[in-house]
Amino acid sequence: MSVATQDTAVSTGRATRALIYLTLLLFALFYLLPLYVMGVNSLKPLAEITGGNMMALPSEWTLDPWRSAWSTAQIGVEPTGLKPYFLNSILMVVPAVAISTIVGALNGYVLTKWRFRGDTWVFGLMLFSCFIPFQIVLIPMAVVLGKLGLAGTVPGLILVHVVYGIGFTTLYFRNYYASFPTELVRAAMIDGAGFFRIFWRILLPVSGPIAVVSVIWQFTNIWNDFLFGVSFGGTSQPMTVALNNLVQSSTGVKEYNVHFAGAILAALPTLIVYIVAGRYFVRGLMAGSVKG
């Protein structure tokens, strides 16, 4: 039994501390392992993977797997590489993120500063939509996209991602604006400022942090989506679907080094966002689970 004399709440012995550091370090290695494996093996000739050790550094460094993954690898039946699919993903992600974030901001503003009877119900219904298993909407969505002539197109995917993204963006902005002093909004109303003017002049200028959270969350989710992409992508498949096709292709030699390079290419955009703005990414994750 130790009696706390120093300022830390919990005191630990030397041996315990060593053990804690060791455990933390081992887990860090565990989390880094797949990234290391992908990185190292994407820079080797194939023979070094099939004939050597996956953990070893390349003895002959090469960028060929990267070139192949980007521009010549066989995706499905076409030897196009991942490039066109990367572009599809970009064309899909940018509008989907922008629209869902703007809509979410306006919704959050209405739900906190222009409250009306039943607004909690409206919000609750929108919030639940974030958590449904999307299998439940796949069939109707396929029918509707077909009727609209949007099946297999990038605009179709944008529509899908906006529809199922506004629940989360609304949640973010609602919780953020809830803590913004309503008196300021009231004062502006008395001064004769209208709905959009108040939003534009008073709330928008302070929305920077939550807008970043929302953009990052939407970007990561939409970029990483596979289910909607594979169901409705058609000829405009996103990056994740193309990567899966590349890796699962059953014809020819399995080019592991190309697969790894492709996997990193698919991971790079979200990884960069995480490295640049990880703090906001974590905030988004947390807001989606422990609200408030």
Shortest Å, Cβ 140 to another protein: 4
| Residue 75 near residue 81, CB atoms below 8 Å | yes
170 counts as binding another protein under rule CB under 8 A:
yes
Q: State the Cα angle at 112 between 110 and 116, rounded to 5°.
A: 70
Pick out residues in 122-141 that bind another protein (CB under 8 A).
122-129, 131-141
251 counts as binding another protein under rule CB under 8 A:
no
282 counts as binding another protein under rule CB under 8 A:
yes
Pick out residues in 58-117 that bind another protein (CB under 8 A).
103, 106-107, 110-111, 114, 116
Pick out residues in 202-221 that bind another protein (CB under 8 A).
220
Shortest Å, Cβ 30 to another protein: 7
**Closer by beta carbon to another protein, 49 or else 213:** 49
163 counts as binding another protein under rule CB under 8 A:
yes
232 counts as binding another protein under rule CB under 8 A:
no
Distances (CA, A) of 241 to 1, 84, 160, 228, 237: 57, 12, 16, 10, 6
243 counts as binding another protein under rule CB under 8 A:
yes
| Residue 284 near residue 213, CB atoms below 8 Å | yes
| Range 209-230 burial, b when 16+ CB lie within 10 A, else e | ebbbbbbbbbbbbbbbbeebbe
HSE of 61, CA atoms in CB hemisphere, 13 A: 3
182 counts as binding another protein under rule CB under 8 A:
no
